[in-house]
């Protein structure tokens, strides 16, 4: 297996940490993983994206022309990455902040209204885990138990009490994602 994924949105949405948890989950399963952030003078509200590659084989380029999966969490990211999904690939978006419809017809498009769900859960920080849950429902590239292990590895111990909340958010995402 090999999944080449781009996650893109506003800085502060948890784009980089969602990618990190996905990478840790892959590591827990013994996969090769690469996590490549668009680092820079980033700030809350600016754009941020991260490429995550999970593979059974050694990984070549961390810089890609096109992706198997694009997760876009704002309109600038949609404008930039919609055209870069491989034909037959997957595009996942949160309708919050996306105001132009997807135009591609040769890809599989899914909507996960994570911002609404996070507000409903009274926990806006759960946003990125809801998105991750949606992704794992569509492409179960890692087992949920390994995601939880990955969370344990990537979170400092004082935050381990938040793991059940994250698990609930992931399950919420799995419930609410729908094909467009």
Beta bridge partners of 4: 53
Cβ proximity to another protein: between 101 and 156 the closer is 156
For residue 62, the minimal CB distance to another protein (Å) is 5
Cβ proximity to another protein: between 64 and 168 the closer is 64
Cβ proximity to another protein: between 25 and 77 the closer is 25
Cβ proximity to another protein: between 111 and 166 the closer is 166
Cβ proximity to another protein: between 55 and 119 the closer is 55
For residue 160, the minimal CB distance to another protein (Å) is 18
Of 42, 48, 59, residue with least CA distance to 14: 48
Q: Residue for token digits 């590659």?
A: 53
For residue 39, the minimal CB distance to another protein (Å) is 5
Q: Which residues contact 128 (CB under 8 A, 6 or more apart)?
A: 13, 14, 15, 17, 18, 114
Q: Which residue ranges make up the site for another protein (CB under 8 A)?
A: 20, 23-24, 27, 32-37, 39-41, 59-65, 153
Both tokens of 103, joined, read 């135009």
| Per-residue H/E/C for 14-72 | CHHHHHHHHHHHHHHCCCEEEEEECCCCCCCCCEEEEEEEEECCCCCCCCCCCEEEEEE
For residue 156, the minimal CB distance to another protein (Å) is 11
Cβ proximity to another protein: between 28 and 91 the closer is 28
For residue 64, the minimal CB distance to another protein (Å) is 7
Neighbour-count burial for 63-72, b at 16+ CB within 10 Å, e otherwise: ebeebbbbbb
Q: For the chain, how far is it from start to end, CA to CA, in angstroms?
A: 26
For residue 80, the minimal CB distance to another protein (Å) is 13
Beta bridge partners of 149: none
């Amino acid at each position: 297996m090999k999944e080449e994924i781009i996650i893109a949105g506003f800085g502060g949405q948890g784009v980089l940490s969602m990618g990190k948890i996905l990478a840790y989950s892959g590591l827990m399963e013994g996969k090769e993983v690469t996590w490549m952030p668009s680092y820079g003078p980033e700030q809350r509200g600016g754009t941020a994206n991260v490429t995550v590659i999970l593979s059974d084989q050694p990984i070549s380029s961390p810089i890609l022309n096109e992706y198997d999966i694009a997760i876009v969490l704002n309109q600038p990211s949609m404008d930039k990455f919609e055209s870069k999904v491989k034909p037959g690939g997957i595009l996942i978006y949160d309708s919050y902040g996306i105001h132009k419809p997807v135009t591609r017809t040769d890809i599989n498009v899914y909507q996960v209204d994570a911002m609404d769900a996070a507000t409903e859960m009274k926990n806006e920080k759960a946003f990125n885990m809801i998105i991750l849950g949606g992704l794992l429902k569509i492409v179960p590239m890692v087992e949920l138990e390994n995601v939880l292990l990955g969370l344990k590895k990537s979170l400092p111990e004082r935050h381990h009490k938040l793991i059940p909340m994250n698990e609930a958010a992931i399950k919420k995402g799995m419930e609410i994602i729908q094909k467009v």
